[in-house]
Structure 1
Amino acid sequence: MKAIIHGDQGLRLGEMPEPAAKSGEVVVAIKTAGLNRRDLYIPERRGHKGHDLVLGSDGAGVIESIGEGVTKWSVGDEVLVNPSLNWFEKSDGSPDGFGPLGMPDDGTFAEKIVLSEEQLEKRPGYLTWEESATIALAGLTGYRALVTRGNVKKGDTVFVPGAGSGVVTFIIQFAEAIGARVIVTSRSAEKREHALKLGADRAIDTNADWNEELKDETIDLVIESVGKATFNRSLECLKKGGRLVVFGATTEDVIDLDLRELFNKQQEIIGSMMGSRDELREMLAFAEKHNIRPVIDQTIPLDDAIKGFNMLEDSTQFGKIVFTI
C-alpha cells in the first residue's frame, strides 16, 4: 500500500505491507488524513536512522475488516481515529502507556491502518470527510487546554499568541461558543483577519508592544504554544492570579523564568497535552452542538504530501492541511 514513510532514506512516498487485524483490532481504509506539527518534528528527532515508519496521527475512513472478538464495529462503518493511544478516562495527567499515534506505531498517512477497536469513534455526520480527518488531535488538544486545564468560563478574556495553527482555530471557536472573549496575535495581517472572521474579538501584531496593546484588557487565561519567543511576554500580560496553559513549543522550549515575578503575581503555569477519550467525546459533542468545524487551508493528494510538510514548516497555512487518499 502507498504511505508517507520516514526511515533510512528520509521522508518519502513509498510502499508498506498491508496490515491485518488481530484479535480486538480493525483495519480502516483511510480516506482522509490530517497533517499536524508533530508529523513535521518526528523526522527531525529520528534523524535518518531506524525502521520505516508511517507518519500521521489524524485520519478518517471506512472499516474494511475486523479481527476476532471485535464487538463495537462492523465492516463498512465510517470512523475517525482517536490519536491519543491508551488514554481513556479523564485524568490530571496521562497514564502509563499513553502516546500519540504515529510514533512508534505506524500512523494514518497510508491507504490502510490497523488499530484497536478502542481507538475509533463514529465519524461525525455533520462534517465532511476532510473535516473529519482534522478534528481529533487539534480539537482534543485545544479543548483540554482551554476547558479541562484552563477552566475557561463565560466572560473570561483568553489571550492566545499565534493565530494560524489548527489548535488555535479550534480554541477561538470553542471560547466563542462558551462566551469568553478571545485575543490572538500574528505577524501576518492576513492571519489576523482570518482569526477575526473566525470569531476572535481582537487580533494584534505579534511584534507590537503587548503591554501597550492590552493595557485596557484583563487577561484571565493565556494559552501558550509558541515557546521561548513569547512565553515571558505572555506572563507579563496575564493578570494577578491568572492561569497560563502551555500545550506546545514551536520555538525553543527552554526558557528563563523570573520566579519572584511569578509568585508575587500568584500566577499558575499549567501543562497540557492532547487528552483522554472522555474529553475527545466531550469535544465532539460540544463541536456538533455548536456547529464548530475545522478550518482547512489546503487539501492535497497523498502523492503530493511533501508539499504539505513544506507549507507547515514555513507556517504559511491558516488552519489544517489535509491529505486525500
Structure 2
Amino acid sequence: MRAAFATGFDDADPLAVLTIGDAPEPTPLDGWAVVEVRASALNHHDLWSLRGVGLRKEQLPMILGCDAAGIGPDGSDVVVYPVVYTEKGSFSILSEHYQGTIAERVTVPAYNLVPKPAELSFAEAACLPTAWLTAYRMLTTRGRLETDGAVLVQGAGGGVATAAVLIGRALGARVYATSRDAEKREKIAALGATALEPGARLPERVDVVIETVGEATFEHSMKAAKTGGRIVVSGATSGHLPRVDLRRVFALQLEILGTSMGTPDELADLMALMARTGVRPVIDSVVPFSDVRKAFEHLHSGDIFGKVVIDHTA
C-alpha cells in the first residue's frame, strides 16, 4: 500500500528523509481494527518525527501521521482517535510506537474508532483528533468555560489556538486572540474573535486563557486572567521556563492547568458540537495523496493558516 514514512532523521532538512512509496499492509493485533483511510491531516509532530524527535533508528521506517478519518471494518464512517494506551497505563500517539495514518490503511485498537457524524466531511473530520481535540479539552474539561464567559487565546494562527477561537465562539464565549502577525490578526478577526497584538490590554479580564506559546506570553496570560481564572497550558513554543508571579497566583486564586490531547468521549462530544452549531475547522489546503510531498513542503514553509489535509482518494 502507498504511504508516507520516515526512513531516517535530519534535523536541518527533515524533508530529505521523507519517503513516499510502498509499505507493508497493517497486521492488526488482537482487539485491533483496520481502517481504510479517506483523509488525513498533517501536524508539526510529523516534521519533528522526521527530525528524530520521539523516534529511534530501530523503529524505522515509520509511517507518519496522527490524524485520520475513513471507513471502519463494518463499513461505517469513523474518525481515528490517535492515542494508544498500554496495559501498564503508558500511552503514545500514532507514528511514535505504532504506524501512522498517512497510508491507505491504518490499524488501531477498536476502541479508537469514533463514529463520524454525517454532517462532517472526511476532510473536516481528519482535522480534529489532535489539535482540535486538544483545544476542546482545554476549553471544557480543564478550562470549565461557561456560556457567556470570556477567553483569551495566545498565539492565534497555530493549529490548537485557531481551533480554540472557533470552539470558544461555538460555546458562546467572548473570544480575544493575540498574534504578532497583522495578516493573521485579520484572519482571526474574521473568525469572530477580537484580535489583538501580543501583550495588549484586554477590555475585560477573562475566565480562561489558552496558552500554547509559553515564555513570551505567560506574564500577559497571568495579568489577563480574572480572579479564579484558569490558565490552561498545552505547549510552550517560545520556551518552557516563564517567570511566574506567585503573589498573583494566590491573591487571585488562579489555576495553572496542564493538558494534553483528550479522550474518545471528548472527541465524540466535540464532533457533536460541530454538527449542532455548524462550526468547521479552518482548512488551509487539501492536497491529493499523489502530491503528498507538496503537502509536507507547505507545512514546512510555515506559511499556512489552518490544517493541511491529504485526500487519500486522489
Normalising by structure 2, report the TM-score: 0.88
1:272 partnered with 2:253: no
Equivalences for residues 190-209 of structure 1 within 5 A: 190-200=183-193, 202-206=194-198, 209=199
Are residues 1:123 and 2:113 paired?
A: no
Percent identical residues: 39
1:54 is matched with which residue: 51, 63, 85?
A: 63
1:237 aligns with 224
1:165 partner amino acid: G
User: CA offsets, 1:262-318, max 9 Å, x none?
Assistant: 333332100011111121122121221112211101111234334333433443211
Flag the 1:104–1:254 CA change in 2: closer, same or farther, 3 A. farther
Q: Which residue of 2 aligns with 1:169?
A: 162
Q: CA RMSD in A?
A: 2.2
- Distance in 2, Cα, partners of 1:180 & 1:158: 7
Shift of 1:48: 7.7
1:256 lines up with 2:243 in the alignment? yes
Partner of 1:17: 24
2:213 to 213, 218, 226: 226
> Residues 315, 232 of structure 1: CA spacing in aligned structure 2 closer, same or farther, 3 A cutoff?
farther
Structure 1 distance, partners of 2:180, 2:293, is 25
Cα distance in structure 1, aligned partners of 2:181 and 2:166: 20
Unaligned residue ranges in structure 2 (runs of 5+): 10-16
Correspondences of 1:22-33 after superposition (within 5 Å)? 22-33=29-40
Out of 170, 173, 178, the position equivalent to 2:171 is: 178
SS of the residue corresponding to residue 139 of structure 1 reads: helix
Once the two structures are TM-superposed, the CA of residue 230 in structure 1 deviates from its matched residue by: 1.6
Q: Distance in 1 between matches of 2:242 and 2:286?
A: 36
- Scaled by the length of structure 1, the TM-score of the pair is 0.85
**Closer/same/farther in 2, CA of residues 77 and 273 from structure 1, 3 Å limit:** same
Note the alpha carbon deviations across 1:21-50, whole angstroms, 9 max, x for none: 343222222121011222222233157833
Look up the match of 1:84.
Answer: 83
Q: Which residue of 2 aligns with 1:113?
A: 106
CA distance in 2, matches of 1:235, 1:273: 20
Match of 1:7 in 2: 7
Q: Verify the 8 A CA contact 1:165 1:320 in the aligned structure 2.
A: no
Check conservation: 1:56, 1:107, Cα contact below 8 A: yes
Q: Distance in 1 between the 2:156 and 2:276 partners?
A: 24
The residue type equivalent to 1:43 in the other structure is L
The structure showing larger relative contact order (alpha-carbon pairs under 8 Å, at least 6 residues apart) is 1
Unaligned segments of structure 1, at least 5 residues: 67-73, 88-94
Aligned residues: 302
